Amino acid sequence: MTATGLTAYTTLLTSATANAAVFGMLMSVAAVGAFMALFFTSLTVIYSVTLAVTTFATGTVLFLSMCAALIVAVAREFWEGLIKIFELAVSAIAMIGSALATISAAGETQIITVQKHPPH
């Protein structure tokens, strides 16, 4: 939506600049002569260049803002994933500790081996 607004803004300014250039040229020629026509035409050119630079700056800021938002979103998801992995690791360590505590609380353990085929 922002790009559409930027396009509409650029189109409006381009048509306004062209209109100002033509109107300035005609009024200057009719009213004061060729010298003033060149003066106002140069002012119009300066105005047009200023509008072009402003449009370029606006587009650049828009692009950089979108990149920054994307980077922030990716970084946030990355950190949330790291936190979940850390919580999983803490939970696994707690389960291992609980299992070891249960084994040590049971006392001495006896290892029983079972053979599949009894010897003859």
Q: Please give the span between the terminal C-alpha atoms of the chain, in angstroms, as a whole number.
A: 86
Q: Residue type for 22, please?
A: V
Q: Residue type for 18, please?
A: A
The reported pLDDT for the residue numbered 71 is: 92
Torsion of CA 57, 58, 60, 65, to 10 degrees: 140
* Prediction pTM value: 0.46
Residue 106 DSSP SS3: coil
Q: What is the pLDDT along the chain (120 residues), one digit of tens a residue?
A: 567 777 777 887 787 787 777 777 777 666 666 677 778 888 888 888 888 888 888 888 888 988 898 999 899 888 898 899 999 999 888 888 887 777 766 666 666 666 676 666
Domain ranges of the chain: 2-75
- Output DSSP code: residue 117: S
Q: Residue type for 105, please?
A: A
